Structure 1
Amino acid sequence: MLPTRPWLYLAAAVAVESIGLIAMKFASDTSSVGPFLFMYAMIGLSFYFFSLSVKHLPMALAYATWETCGLILITMAGLQFFGEYLNSRKLIGMALLFLGVVLINMGSSKAAR
């Protein structure tokens, strides 16, 4: 397997999870079943891609990356589409999460990747 493939699976997991969570926000404003079904499909697909990535990446690294990147994407979507705001505390929190992912990556053995 190409060494980048697990990272591509992880990126796909982050992307479809973010789409699913954005759909959740839209679905919460409607009584229609369609947006909820789409949301469940995207979140399920996210777990599928995540499971493919952890076959070759350390689980702690994959999970920390998945959640941190997802949080950053969802924060940006909230700013762009839902009128949410970003303050210094949120920025510091995201920077600390990102630093945590970097440290976990540095702590993962090369053999495990």
Structure 2
Amino acid sequence: MSWILLVLAGFMEIGGVTFLKLSEGFSKLKPSLFFVLFMGLSFIFLSMSLKEIPISIGYGIWTGIGAAGSVLIGMFAFNDPKDYRKLALVSGIIISIIGLKLVS
């Protein structure tokens, strides 16, 4: 169950960052409120998952999911420049996340 919570925390972080972008510097109310909601859920799920998962593993995976997901959302939803090098580096983050799970 802790691993499910950790993955949910990572996806909530991606949602939070997405709404942060949509809030346009907190000038739009709805996206700003969704940012607070998603980031709050992200921290709650992360804290619950860290009851059983070591912080060195949990925080690394949470950050990696958020970072990789944010890059992909930026490229495919917000028209950030797409580059094979970015995709290769994001693949490295994903491989690292899998590696952390395997060694824990």
> Runs (4+) of structure 1 moved beyond 4 Å?
none
1:29 Cα offset (Å)? 6.3
Query: Could you give the per-residue CA deviations for residues 27-66 of structure 1, whole angstroms, max 9, x where no partner exists?
Result: 0167232321221121011000000111111111111111
Residues 60 and 104 in structure 1, CA contact (< 8 A), matched pair in contact too: no
Stretches of structure 1 that go unaligned for 5 or more consecutive residues are 109-113
SS at match of 2:27: coil
Length, aligned pairs only: 104
TM-score under structure 1 length normalisation? 0.77
Q: CA 1:103/1:80 → structure 2, altered by over 3 Å: closer, same or farther?
A: closer
Over the residues paired in the alignment, what is the CA RMSD in angstroms? 2.0
Residues 68 and 94 in structure 1, CA contact (< 8 A), matched pair in contact too: no
SS at match of 1:85: coil
Residues 24 and 39 in structure 1, CA contact (< 8 A), matched pair in contact too: yes
Name the counterpart of 1:104. 100
Name the counterpart of 1:27. 23
Which shows bigger deviation, 62-71 or 26-35? 26-35
Identity over aligned pairs, percent: 27
Stretches of structure 2 that go unaligned for 5 or more consecutive residues are none
Task: Please state if 1:70 is matched with 2:66.
Answer: yes
Name the counterpart of 2:81. 85
Structure number with greater Rg is: 1
